[in-house]
Amino acid sequence: MIDVCLLGTGGMMPMPDRWLSSLLLRTGGHTFLIDCGEGTQISWKMSGWGFNQTDAIILTHRHADHTAGLPGILYSLAHAMRTDPVTIYGPIGITPLVNALRVVVPRLPFELSVVELFNGDVVQLPGGLEMRALEVSHHVPCLAYSFQLKRTREFQRDIAEAKNIPVHYWSALKEGQGVEVDGKTILPDDVLGPPRPGIKVSFVTDTRPTSELPEFVRGSDLLICEGMYGSEEERSRADERGHMVFPESAEIARRGEVKKLWLTHFSPALQNPREHLEAARFVFPQTCIGVAHKTLTIPFPDTESSDDPDHIEQE
């Protein structure tokens, strides 16, 4: 399963009741932070999620409302006695930014590395999480991300026993390796069930709609997508500044056939995002307004019910 915690939903600058847009993902004992604007470590502390299991910090782009909290995050990781390596991922050009912010936290008890990603890159993260990057349309290099937790095919023990396959070969077959039994080749397909759906979470911010986005987020169990402005009347401003209005975000969710949409990254001028929620739901009914510390546990399909504290009818 994947646990999701939205740490903030603001764009441009933190507000008294709104932290800047950032997200935590957790799976298999590994935690990943996506974006870290000013004050992110405070909201993180308030969430109750620990710092020590953080393996990667993933940045969408270099603007301050997505990166200025990095020194505080690194200091918090150090204070949590993190000693295992941490990797920062981001678009081209992120390395000099990280190096500049490191000046105020020059000594860390863990190795810190920076990896610059390009359009279409795929990264295997700890915990079996696969991350994909997509270049989007902003004023600086910016990436959208999808995170997929694939599910292994079920090992059909009854078939293995009927074929008299010794138990010590089962692990290899489960891992996709063929084996030789009494001079006969046994392939994984002989004893594994059909492919099973996994879990997909996508994160899209600071972009105009692009033709690639619906396919990129397709089938996501959860799409967290920016909604900088609420109404269609703001579309010209959104276009000028490289952002989206609620109906545009909802259209990406609809075309991508996602299961649920959380809107985030609201303009400081958008004091009550819920006033524009119905415009988004007209396009995509499964739309929710993101709020700090909104959480969701996404299990593998057909295993257990999802733990969603904010059902669509309660919004």
How would residue 314 be classed by pLDDT, with cut points 50, 70 and 90?
Answer: very low
Query: Where in the sequence numbering do the catalytic residues fall?
Result: 65
- Please give the pLDDT value at position 175: 83
State the angle between helix axes of 94-101 and 70-79 in degrees (0 to 180), rounded to the nearest 10. 60
Domain residue limits at 183? 154-193
Does 301 map to a domain? yes
Asked if the model's pLDDT at residue 305 lies above 60, the reply is: no
Give the lowest-confidence range in 119-128, 207-216, 233-242, 298-307. 298-307
Judge whether 220 and 170 are in contact, CB under 8 Å. Answer: no
CA distance 140 to 61: 7
Asked if 114 and 86 sit in the same domain, the reply is: yes
Q: Looking at 138, 164, 193, which one is the last position of a domain?
A: 193
Asked if 170 and 250 sit in the same domain, the reply is: no
Asked if 46 and 95 sit in the same domain, the reply is: yes
For the segment 206-253, what is each residue's pLDDT rounded down to a tens digit? 999 999 999 999 999 999 999 999 988 889 999 899 999 999 999 999
- If phi > 0 it is left, if psi is from -120 to 50 it is alpha, else beta; for residue 117 that is beta
Predicted structure pTM score: 0.89
For the segment 132-153, what is each residue's pLDDT rounded down to a tens digit? 999 999 999 999 999 999 988 8
Structure tokens at 296: 């969701």
CB-facing half-sphere around the CA of 28: CA atoms within 13 A: 10
CATH number at residue 277: 3.60.15.10
**Amino acid at residue number 146:** S
Asked if 62 and 104 sit in the same domain, the reply is: yes
Does 95 map to a domain? yes
Q: Number of structural domains, the chain?
A: 2
Measured on CA atoms in the order 6, 198, 31, 255, is the torsion positive or negative? negative
Asked if 122 and 101 sit in the same domain, the reply is: yes
Asked if 224 and 110 sit in the same domain, the reply is: yes
Asked if 258 and 209 sit in the same domain, the reply is: yes
Q: Looking at 193, 213, 245, which one is the last position of a domain?
A: 193
Asked if 181 and 236 sit in the same domain, the reply is: no
Does 315 map to a domain? no
- Please give the pLDDT value at position 304: 55
How would residue 313 be classed by pLDDT, with cut points 50, 70 and 90?
Answer: very low
For the segment 33-66, what is each residue's pLDDT rounded down to a tens digit? 999 999 999 999 999 999 999 999 999 999 999 9
How would residue 311 be classed by pLDDT, with cut points 50, 70 and 90?
Answer: very low
